[in-house]
Every structure is written in C-alpha cells, then in structure tokens.
C-alpha cells in the first residue's frame, strides 16, 4: 500500500505529495480551494493524523519511529500536488506545484469546488466525417473478412475525400462507394454545396500492411493466443460512479446535446438544422461530485433563412430540456452560436482528418489518454482494442465496489503479446491494493481481448459519434 509518509528534517515537514492529493480528492481531508492552492483545516488534519498507531498505519499512514504528531499554529508544509512520488519539501519547490495544502484554524471554509468542462461534436463536423468514413470502411471489410488488417486514415476538404493507409484483406470492396454512402448517411446531400455525397471526388492511397508489421502481429494457427500487439504504445481506460453510465458527467451531457441536434435534424423536426456543430458543457463539482451545470454552449450549423433568435429559442426551449434531463438548469449560462451565424460549415469550409477528436471520443479530458486514435483501425491495433479493454476493466473495478473512480493504464511493444505494464489508479476513492489484485485477474493479451469482447465483427460505425464509451450495447460497456 502506498503510504502517507511524514518526515521532519531540520524543522521542515515532508510528505508524499501524490498520496496527500488522493486523500484530499477522496474527501478524507476536507479542503477548500484558495486561488491556485488548497487549504485544509488544521483540526481536520490533526484528527486525521493523531494519534498514530499501527492500526492507523494499516490505513496508509506512517510516521517515522511511530511517534505521535501534533500541530502548532504555523504553516504546515504539506504538499497537495507534486511531480515526485517520494517525500517532497514545499519550501524548496513551491514553483512546481499546482496546489498547496495548508493547516489553518480559520472558519467558514467549504468543500473543494471547481468547474470542469467537456465538449462533443456533431456527426457533420469535418473530423467526425473522416472518422465515420474510416469506420464504415472498416466495418465493410470485416463483414467479408474478419481477419482483415485495416489502418485507414481519411482527409476531407471542399469536394475531395482522401483515403490513405494500409488494408490487407480478402474482401472485395468499392472504397469510394463506401465513402460516398457514409457522407450520405451523415446528411451532406445538397448538390448546391461543394461537399456532397454524389459529387465529391475520392482519391485512394491504400496499400497492404507492411510485411514486418504483419510478421509480428499475425499469429500461427496453433498459437492464436500469442498474437502480438499491432504497435507499441500506452492506453488508458476510466470509469466513475458519478453517472449510471460510469462516465464523467460533462462529456456525457455534451454528447447528449450533439446527438439531440442530429435526431431533430434527421427526423424532420427541425429541417433547418445542418450536419455540422459542436457542444460544450461546464459542470460544478463539490468534493469531486457533480452538483449542477453552470454553462452550456451549442454551436449548430443552420439554414440561411433561420435567424439567431430562432436558433437560440430551439436550443433553450426544446433541445436542452430533453437532452439534459435531470441536469437541465434553466439558470445556467447559455451560449448559442456566439458569432451570431453558422450557415457555412462542414468540410466545404474546414478540413477534416481522422483521429483529431480523441478527447471527445473518450472521457472529455477527465482521464488521461495515451494519444492513439480509434477510428479506421481493426482490433489488432491495441490503440483501439487496448483502450476498449481498459475501459471494460475500469468498469468492473467500479461495479465491484472496489472504488468510486478507477483508471487503468496498459502498455505494449509491437509484436509482443504480453503487456509491458498494467497500472491501476483509484484516486484515493477505494482500496488500491484490492483493485490492483482484482485487475491482475484479467488477460490483457491482444488475442484474449479480441476473444473476450468479440471484436472481429462489423460493430465500429456505432462507436464513431458521441463517444466510444458510455453507450449501451457495446461489449466493453457490459
């Protein structure tokens, strides 16, 4: 177990910075944010630390020689955030810390509060157009040949779609036709616009997978479990009990708004809506739990004959109440198309590229990201399957009651089946050791992940929009 270690050297107190941050995050040290710092009530710290006994040490507390610790009224050098996992002296490195914790006898303090913001994008956002084309190609190929190797990137701008990458398959596919159909499903069908499914030009720069990569990934028929990872890299998965979907609330609400725009456009309820758009939601947290929505931003493309007042009225009176549900806050600040007009959009106006919305695709910035994108990649690419499995395992940790919040990291080397490392972080919200032992039961080898989640199926187009996580029906969301 990681210890909260306190040392006294030359009159200075030193602590394990990372652990103290987790105690504060878990609410075991009530704190209040003061500017960039964090203030902890003196009485709370004294109650938490003293008396120090072997039993308390079992809770993760250790003081050298087991001496009781009492506090005076002076500034107590306890670090809230630092780079080092070891004891850190705040007096020497104040400039390195994002937060500092103080012992104080003051009154009127409240639990730590902050506002966290996440965004989502509509189906017609140029980057998502590219992601959807890439995943449509992947699904079409997998439907004919489940063992295909696909790494498809897409670029779109004006009336051009570029398909680039490596595809090794026995499937017979008209890639240009698949791209056009994907664009048609999104809703770019107006021949008067430069970017239209029936008139765009598709350039193909597709080759087979490199033999050296294939050699490391392709498993022999009698050693399928030893299929190597498709690339090196690190992946993360995250889960939090703050919503029934075990997702962070800000990104979940942003996705609901973006999905609502598409539903109203495609159903004909609001025929003046156009495919491009972005949403953003800010949520106030107290004690690291969401309490209310503070700001909502909706930017949606619309027909030229629809004025700003009509767009705002639709968002405020129709979209928000339905999409936000119990989190709808009429007092929240609302911004709609802040520039005043959003008639021109999509790839006709802005270029799009696969893999540029990886934070939208995951946890809205609430958790770490290894950097690898998902769309257009078959499950032999651990950028995708490894991240999906980390999400699956993080969900299991939270569902098992081992923590309220969990993040899993895994790392791989190309061509090697066994992961190089697997790490669990519960952010002080549970039993770290029990969670780590629980996670060790899971098999993170690529072939085992593919088998457990049944990933050699054409299921990926449904992941492209509104996040790859938190949606029912996906095997890693069980």
- How confident is the model at residue 292, as a pLDDT? 96
Residue 355 domain-assigned (yes or no): no
Task: Give the pLDDT score at 23.
Answer: 57
59, 93, 111 - which closes a domain: 111
Query: Which of 91, 111, 131 corresponds to the end of one domain?
Result: 111
Q: Which domain holds residue 68?
A: 4-111
178 part of a folded domain = no
pLDDT on residue 209? 77
Q: Is residue 308 part of a domain?
A: yes
- List pLDDT tens digits, range 339-395: 999 999 999 999 999 999 999 999 999 999 999 999 999 999 999 999 999 999 999
Q: Does residue 348 sit within a domain?
A: no
Task: Encode pLDDT of 162-189 as tens digits.
Answer: 999 999 999 999 999 999 999 999 999 9
Task: Please report whether residue 318 resides in a domain.
Answer: yes
HEC string of the chain equals CCCEEEEEECCEEEEEHHHHHHHHHCCCCCEEEECCEEEEEHHHHHHHHCCCCHHHHCCCEECHHHCCCCCCCCCCCEECCCCCCCEECCCCCHHHCCCEEEEECCCCCCCCEEEEEEEEECCCCHHHHHHHHHHHHHHHHHHHCCCCEEEEEEEEECCEEEEEEEEECCCCCCHHHHHHHHHHHHCCCCCCCCCCCCCCEEEEEEECCCHHHHHHHCCCHHHHHHCCECCCEEEEEEEECCCCCCCCHHHHHHHHHHHHHHHHHHCCCCCCEEEEEEEEEEEEEECCEEEEEEEEEEEEEECCCCCHHHHHHHHHHHHHHHHHHHHCCCCCEEEECCCCCCCCCHHHCCCEECCCCHHHHCCCCCCCCCCCCCCCECCCCHHHHHHHHHHHHHHHHHHCCCECEEEEEEEECECCCCCCEEEEECCCCECHHHHHHHHCCCCCCHHHHHHHHCCCCCCCHHHCCCCCCCCCCCHHHC
Q: Please indicate, yes or no, if residue 325 is contained in any of the structural domains.
A: yes
Q: What is the pLDDT of residue 300?
A: 98
Predicted pLDDT of residue 110? 42
* CATH code for the domain in which residue 282 is found: 3.30.300.10
The pLDDT of residue 112 is 78
pLDDT at 87 (0 to 100): 37
Residues of the chain with pLDDT under 50: 1-18, 31-43, 45-46, 48-110, 220-222
The domain tally of the chain equals 2
Choosing from 62, 93, 111, the residue where a domain stops is 111
**Residue 99 forms part of a structural domain:** yes
Q: Is residue 380 part of a domain?
A: no
């Amino acid at each position: 177990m990681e210890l909260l270690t306190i040392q006294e050297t030359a009159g200075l107190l030193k602590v394990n910075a990372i652990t103290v941050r987790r105690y504060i995050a878990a609410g075991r040290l009530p704190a209040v944010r003061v500017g960039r710092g964090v203030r902890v009530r003196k009485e709370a710290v004294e109650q938490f630390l003293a008396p120090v006994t072997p039993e308390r040490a079992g809770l993760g507390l250790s003081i050298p020689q087991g001496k009781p610790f009492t506090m005076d009224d002076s500034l107590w050098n306890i670090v809230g955030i630092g780079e080092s996992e070891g004891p850190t002296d705040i007096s020497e490195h104040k400039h390195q810390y994002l937060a500092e914790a103080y012992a104080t006898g003051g009154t009127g303090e409240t639990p730590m509060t902050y506002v966290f913001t996440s965004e989502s994008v509509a189906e017609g956002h140029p980057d998502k157009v590219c992601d959807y084309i890439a995943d449509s190609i992947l699904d079409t190929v997998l439907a004919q040949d489940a063992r295909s190797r696909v790494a498809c990137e897409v670029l779109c701008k004006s009336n051009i779609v570029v398909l680039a990458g490596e595809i090794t398959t026995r499937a017979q596919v008209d890639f240009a036709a698949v791209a056009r159909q994907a664009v048609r499903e999104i809703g770019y069908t107006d021949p008067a616009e430069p970017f239209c499914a029936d008139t765009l030009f598709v350039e193909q720069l597709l080759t087979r997978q490199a033999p050296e990569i294939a050699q490391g990934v392709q498993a022999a028929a009698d050693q399928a479990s030893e299929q190597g990872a498709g690339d090196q890299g690190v992946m993360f998965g995250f889960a939090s009990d703050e919503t029934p979907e075990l997702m962070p609330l800000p990104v979940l609400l942003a996705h609901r708004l973006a999905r609502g725009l598409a539903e109203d456009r495609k159903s004909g309820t609001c025929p003046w809506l156009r495919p491009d758009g972005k949403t953003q939601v800010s949520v106030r947290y107290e004690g690291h739990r969401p309490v209310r929505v503070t700001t909502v931003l909706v930017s949606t493309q619309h027909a030229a004959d629809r004025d700003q007042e009509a767009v705002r009225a639709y968002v405020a009176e129709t979209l928000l109440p339905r999409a936000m549900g119990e989190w709808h806050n009429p007092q929240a600040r609302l911004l709609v198309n802040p520039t005043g007009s959003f008639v021109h959009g999509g790839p006709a106006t802005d270029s799009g590229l696969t893999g540029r919305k990886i934070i939208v695709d995951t946890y809205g910035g609430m958790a770490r990201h290894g950097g690898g994108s998902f769309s257009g990649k078959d499950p032999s690419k651990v950028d995708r399957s490894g991240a999906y499995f980390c999400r699956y395992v993080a969900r299991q940790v939270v569902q098992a009651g081992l923590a309220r919040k969990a993040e899993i990291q895994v790392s791989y080397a190309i061509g090697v089946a066994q992961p190089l490392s697997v790490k669990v972080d519960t952010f002080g919200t549970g039993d770290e050791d029990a969670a780590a032992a629980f996670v060790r039961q899971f098999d993170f080898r690529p072939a085992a992940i593919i088998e457990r989640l049944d990933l050699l199926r054409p299921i990926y187009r449904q992941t492209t929009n509104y996040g790859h996580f938190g949606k029912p029906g996906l095997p890693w969301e069980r």
